[in-house]
Amino acid sequence: MSKVNKEPLLHITKRKELPMKQTWMIRIGAIIAALIVCAIVTMLLTGLDPFSVFGTMIYGALGTERKAIILFKELAMLLSVALALTPAFKMKFWNLGGEGQILMGAWATALCMIYMGDKIPGFLLIIICLVAAIICGAIWAMIPAFFKAKWNTNETLFTLMMNYVAIQLVAYFIILWEVPKGSGKVGIINQTTQAGWLPYIGTNSYILVIIFVAIITAGMYIYLKYSKHGYEISVVGESQRTASYVGIKVDKVIIRTLLLSGAICGFTGWMMVSGVDHTITTTLAGGRGFLGIMVSWLAQFNVIAMVFASLLIVFLGQGAGEISTNFGLNESFADIITGIILFFIIGCEFFINYKVHVRKKSGKEEA
């Protein structure tokens, strides 16, 4: 062939592990760049100057005591989902079914609250709801896990489809339970008796929910870092072959981990119905099943980093919400801001893992 191979201008190699400090510098740099882009977008849409953009955002997220507690409640919810999905991811099992697993937990809770609300004393009912929610969430996650373990069925697509089966199932029951008939809404469940509701601390039970999630966070940290299960999960994640050579039963680990993952998702659903919303809708999970995946992934499965990643996303969401209410814009503004931040952080991982060499004119190998 007469074609002369041109040497490419840029040459990419994989980096050895960067020191911790540098990786965080890159990430923080990306976040700052993303915030600047967000500020510009907001300026273009609202005509605010950048300082008042961030001023409004901070006010929206933390401005009053009530806003602050809502921020932490939202943080707890998102973090809980991210924690639930983490063990599965660490095993390289793409559990995109968080949305459905949460919803099944919520469904089980609502079911128990509606049918047993006036028959069983309050405290016992809460426990029954909790157990039912955990079981339902776990089953919903176990179905794809079973097929993955047995026949290597593609779990990404399977878990994704399970979300919509759950959504339609809940939609069906919402119509059965709707109050008043024809409204398409369940309304507040047990509004007068408050049966099955988590006890209030102050004017709501958000603080209780936050405490629960703090416990799960600590538990998950220990589970992944110090337990035998956590070790097995990371071995299976690195290489299934290695795992089976050293005598780990891969199918068992997959199913067990997904049971745990689904159970925590179910638990989150229980908190949403019993502790926060006291009702059920098909959009209850509100995309947290997907956002949780991104939180978990952005934090590189590090439980502590996950707290900050969820804080960032929730903070921006609440802040952008404030801007959109102030300017009469659609509340989906928050999704756009979240999207921009995510793209930047996802993109910056490249510069952590790879090094770009610019080739010198002479064409000689450099670096």
Closest approach of other proteins to the CB of residue 100, in Å: 10
Between 24 and 164, CB nearer to other proteins: 164
Closest CB 354 distance from other proteins, rounded Å: 7
Which lies closer to other proteins via its Cβ, residue 89 or residue 212?
89
Residue 274 or 318: which CB sits closer to other proteins? 318
Site string for other proteins, 65-84 (x = CB under 8 A): --------------------
Please select the residue that binds other proteins; options are 240, 335, 355, 359, rule is CB under 8 A.
335
Binding span for other proteins by CB under 8 A among 150-158, 212-220, 225-233, 265-273: 150-158
Window 10 to 29, contacts with other proteins (CB under 8 A): 12-14
Min. distance of Cβ 312 from other proteins in angstroms?
Answer: 14
The two three-digit tokens of residue 6, written as one number: 């041109």
Q: Mask 188-227, x = binds other proteins (CB under 8 A)? A: ----------------------------------------
Residues 223, 270, 315, 333: which binds other proteins (CB under 8 A)?
333
Per CB under 8 A, residues contacting other proteins are 12-14, 45, 94, 96, 147, 151-154, 156-158, 160-165, 167-169, 171-173, 175-176, 287, 290-291, 293-294, 297, 328-336, 338-340, 342-343, 346-347, 349-350, 353-354
